[in-house]
Structure 1
Amino acid sequence: MTARTLMLTVIAMLAFAGNSLLCRAALRDSEIDPASFTALRLLSGALVLWLLLSLRQRSSVTSGNWKGAVALFTYAAAFSYAYTHLDAGAGALLLFGAVQLSMITWGFFKGERLQRLQVVGLMLALGGVVALLLPGTGTPSISASLLMVLAGVAWGAYSLLGKGAEDPLAATAGNFIRTLPIMAVLCLLALSGLKWDSAGVVYALLSGGVMSGIGYAIWYAALPGLAAIQAASVQLSVPLLTVLAGSVFLGEALTSQLLIAGIAILGGIALVLRLKHNA
């Protein structure tokens, strides 16, 4: 992994964690509904990406494809609806567990293999995620859990589709723009329940314009330098980043179990990435 890929990956992971924090805060502390949050998130993301594309000197033509757009919309909508009935810990576990499992499965399908110590590292990271999210999570809603699993699988598919993008910014912008007609259908279906307030709108715009639009463009730029197994494993850091930030910004408890789990997650990820780099 090059220094550029590492830097881009770190920034993208911070953006993903910020997305979770903004979504939790909006759906917990404001009046906005999940359909409105999703709509504003995708609309602001599309606008920011289009502006970034227009400002650069080379070709500003969008690319992307409908497969990427459907995967992106499915992730965003399922993510928002799931977080109305899931606590932060259970949601992060289900989301990123589904992401890494789907991407690793695809990697095996394409011929990637883990060394023995990489398996140990992955199991250590997974065990850390489980330990991180066990205290106080309770029994999550079955329907919300299934939605979050769907969000994770969709995000894994979106990430894998991004590996072949020749122009990450144009592809991301095109995918966001293509979600708009799908988003319009969702809003029509949820018309009677649409509501928002100023705080919810701000959260959604930040989530879409900064954390999603710019964050996903950065992630697309990092993906060509990562194997599918690497891309899956590194995203396990996001639940840790989310819970740590949640303890600071949202008043969530920071326990010794959380710290131990965090060491396991980051240690396991480091083992997978280091061995993959040396292979």
Structure 2
Amino acid sequence: MQLFLLSALTMCAFAANSILTRLAVNGGHIDPAGFALVRVGAGALVLAVMVTLRGRRLPLLRRNRIGGAVSLSVYMIGFSLAYLTLDAGLGALILFGAVQITMFSFAALTGAAPTPRQVTGAAAAFAGLVLVLWPDGEGSTDILGAGLMVIAGVGWAAYTIIGRTSGDPLAATSANFLLCFPVMLILPVFAGGHFSMTGLLLGVLCGAVTSGLGYALWYAVLARIDSGTAAVAQLIVPIIAILAGALLLGEPLSLTLVIATALVLGGIAWALSAGSVQADRR
């Protein structure tokens, strides 16, 4: 039960990133590049302070640190630039589809092939995402934006896979954010650079709480679940974001959305039950 609650809290934090980004960027309070830069900077600062208060050192030169920082940078940059041309729904579909495919492919290549339950559960959950997020056909998808979001998905999948070997989730996440920040300084080159106090505050909240602390919690959860389950669990994030958008932003809640939510939650429940079945058979 504790693992389920921690996982649920982490997925809510991930969904909150989408809500905060929509409020800041779509509301015209700050440009995407500036928001991403503030997000990473705030996350790095808060996490570094927390690690220091715990009396621990930042593991900047540990094994996999470069991989974690680079994959986080790839995700942040790809995500930010892709949303300059993609709508939120299609972007979420491409992102989490790329995450799932990358993680399941990695599991298969390393000998930890997904179980039949995980495969069918992922298929049902992904079908729910397709149902609710598939574009309506009015206008063409921007190829460059879609490619950038695929790259972001691969980056987040790599960050997730690397995080499974982290010994200290909080310290590892803090080090990744600190090493990621210099790379993020290239982002303002791609945008005009406008911002307001509201945009800055939303960026700080997104970086310090829902990103920094959320990612540290995700690293802690990853040590207790397998890659296939981690891939499927993340599919619930777009659904949470859409439901939160309906409640907080007044976005429409349709029957299609309800059906899609049932498919995603059912698929995730089916995939998560794979671990319990295997444990019972031992």
Which TM-score band applies after superposition, normalised by the shorter structure?
Answer: over 0.9
SS in 2 for 1:207: helix
- The corresponding residue for 2:108 is 108
Flag structure 1 segments of 5+ consecutive residues without an equivalent: none
User: For the Cα contact (< 8 Å) 1:17–1:242, is it kept in 2?
Assistant: yes
For 1:236-247, list aligned pairs within 5 A. 236-247=235-246
2:14 equivalent to 1:16: yes
User: For the Cα contact (< 8 Å) 1:30–1:199, is it kept in 2?
Assistant: no
Letter aligned with residue 237 of structure 1: I
Number of aligned pairs? Answer: 274
Please identify, of 262-271 and 27-36, the stretch whose mean Cα deviation from structure 2 is larger: 27-36
- The corresponding residue for 1:85 is 85
Letter aligned with residue 245 of structure 1: A
Letter aligned with residue 264 of structure 2: I
2:256 equivalent to 1:257: yes
- The corresponding residue for 1:62 is 59
User: For the Cα contact (< 8 Å) 2:75–2:151, is it kept in 1?
Assistant: yes
Letter aligned with residue 225 of structure 1: R
Please identify, of 74-83 and 41-50, the stretch whose mean Cα deviation from structure 2 is larger: 74-83
- The corresponding residue for 1:152 is 153
2:147 and 2:40 map into 1 onto residues whose CA distance is 22
Shift of 1:118: 3.2
1:200 and 1:12 map into 2 onto residues whose CA distance is 23
- The corresponding residue for 1:121 is 121
- The corresponding residue for 1:182 is 183
2:40 and 2:116 map into 1 onto residues whose CA distance is 41
TM-score w.r.t. length of structure 1: 0.93
2:107 and 2:181 map into 1 onto residues whose CA distance is 30
Shift of 1:60: 3.4
CA distance 1:201–1:136, shift in 2 (3 Å):
farther
User: For the Cα contact (< 8 Å) 2:118–2:228, is it kept in 1?
Assistant: no
SS in 1 for 2:30: coil
1:277 and 1:123 map into 2 onto residues whose CA distance is 20
Shift of 1:99: 0.8
Please identify, of 143-152 and 9-18, the stretch whose mean Cα deviation from structure 2 is larger: 143-152
- The corresponding residue for 1:196 is 195
1:142 and 1:56 map into 2 onto residues whose CA distance is 46
Letter aligned with residue 93 of structure 1: L
SS in 2 for 1:225: coil
1:54 and 1:4 map into 2 onto residues whose CA distance is 27
Shift of 1:119: 2.4
How many percent identity over aligned positions?
A: 41
Letter aligned with residue 57 of structure 2: S
2:257 and 2:54 map into 1 onto residues whose CA distance is 43
Letter aligned with residue 226 of structure 1: I
CA distance 1:14–1:144, shift in 2 (3 Å):
same
Aligned-residue RMSD, C-alpha: 1.7
TM-score w.r.t. length of structure 2: 0.92
2:224 and 2:194 map into 1 onto residues whose CA distance is 41
SS in 1 for 2:253: coil
SS in 2 for 1:193: coil
CA distance 1:200–1:226, shift in 2 (3 Å):
same
CA distance 1:112–1:165, shift in 2 (3 Å):
same
2:178 and 2:227 map into 1 onto residues whose CA distance is 26
User: For the Cα contact (< 8 Å) 1:89–1:137, is it kept in 2?
Assistant: no
Letter aligned with residue 241 of structure 2: T
CA distance 1:16–1:95, shift in 2 (3 Å):
same
